[in-house]
Structure 1
Amino acid sequence: MLLDSTFDINTKKLQSVNIPEETFRSIERFLFKEAKLLDQRNFWEWDKLFTESGMYWVPHKHEQDNPFDHISLFWENRMLREVRIRRVENSRNWSQQPQTQTAHLVGNLIVEGVDDQGHLVVSAVFQITEWRLKLRQLAGRYTYKLATQDDGNWKIQLKRVDLVNCNDVFENLEVFI
């Protein structure tokens, strides 16, 4: 999956869609739940929010078209997310002593449309306060491709994290943004 250039990362060429207020609120609750799981360091439950083929992407430059022609800060499938979770949660991991603590603020949710595979594309702005020995602020825009499940719940097919300062020199980005 990591090198599968057929994985659809497009979030621009979309069909417009009108959704009921109740659906909008369920998406909003889903994104708030995701932020809470990250803030609680409940990474295994957070990872379950993704589809089996779901990808987590943090581009390294503004307006980056894809993760294949340019380096990304993160381009992770399920296996790489699980490796990172195991590393972050390892009690001997010196870079997590003390553990990174975060507080996510998510807002300005917009339903962008539907892609060719029927995934609902939504975006939201975010701000994260992160602490591990010192405070750090991260901000930007999330773009999600959401798949509906048979039980009516949402799953993440793609989470794209566009940081305001994506091409900055970062200290370790240990936990998920």
Structure 2
Amino acid sequence: MHPTHTAIAAATVSRAEVEDFLFHEARLLDEWKLREWEALFAADGVYHVPTTGAPEAASPATTLFYVADDRLRITQRVTRLLKKGAHAEYPRSKTRHMITNVRIESREGDELVVQSSFFVHRSRDGSSQSYVGHYRHRLVVEDGRFMIREKRCTLDTDSLRPLGRISIVL
């Protein structure tokens, strides 16, 4: 997508363009291109994974989250995951991020709020886990391309116990 005016682009962007961006993000994660994934975030971008059972409008300022990363912590997470010393992910998991039911929920100024469903399959050391839930992306258009202002991953499970910890990027 190469729009020239941010406000016009956010107002006219299509669901197909948003889907292409989300599919691109998923591919970067599956190929462990985490630096490229990190570069998709705006300067004020955040990555959130609320605990199971947390209210939809919960904030990491007042509620426990599994992941509550601001831009600096996203960079630190990527750095840790790419090190051979990252025992939780060395050898790296094989993942497949599948995204469906993409809907543009709202458009306001230069920002889009996008909802989608996800299924992330993870395989490592002879075991597999499946993470199911929904994403809420707040996307902005900067310099003619989408940037993530917020990625919120809400799991559709009662607990993490059967899945173990979240050491991959959902």
TM over 0.5: yes
TM tier, shorter chain?
0.7 to 0.9
What is the Cα deviation at residue 96 of structure 1? Answer: 2.2
Counterparts in 2 of 1:1-177, with a 5 A limit? 23-60=14-51, 61-65=53-57, 66-115=59-108, 118-133=110-125, 134-151=127-144, 153-165=145-157, 167-169=159-161, 170-177=163-170
Letter of the 1:76 partner, please give it.
D
Name the CA distance, whole Å, in 2 between partners of 1:25 and 1:94: 38
Greater Cα shift, 82-91 or 166-175 = 166-175
Residue number in structure 1 paired with 2:5: none
Contact 2:135/2:154 (<8 A) preserved: yes
How high is the sequence identity, in percent, across the aligned residues? 25
What is the Cα deviation at residue 19 of structure 1? Answer: 6.2
Name the CA distance, whole Å, in 2 between partners of 1:49 and 1:97: 24
Q: Output the TM-score relative to the length of structure 1.
A: 0.81
Name the CA distance, whole Å, in 2 between partners of 1:36 and 1:109: 16
What is the Cα deviation at residue 118 of structure 1? Answer: 4.1
Name the CA distance, whole Å, in 2 between partners of 1:113 and 1:175: 29
Compare relative contact order (CA 8 Å, sep 6+) and give the higher one, 1 or 2: 2
Name the CA distance, whole Å, in 2 between partners of 1:94 and 1:176: 15
Hey, which of these two has a bigger chunk of strand by percent?
2
RMSD of Structure 2 on Structure 1 (CA) = 1.9
What is the Cα deviation at residue 122 of structure 1? Answer: 0.6
Q: Secondary structure at the match of 1:104?
A: strand
What stretches of structure 2 of length at least 5 have no aligned partner?
1-9
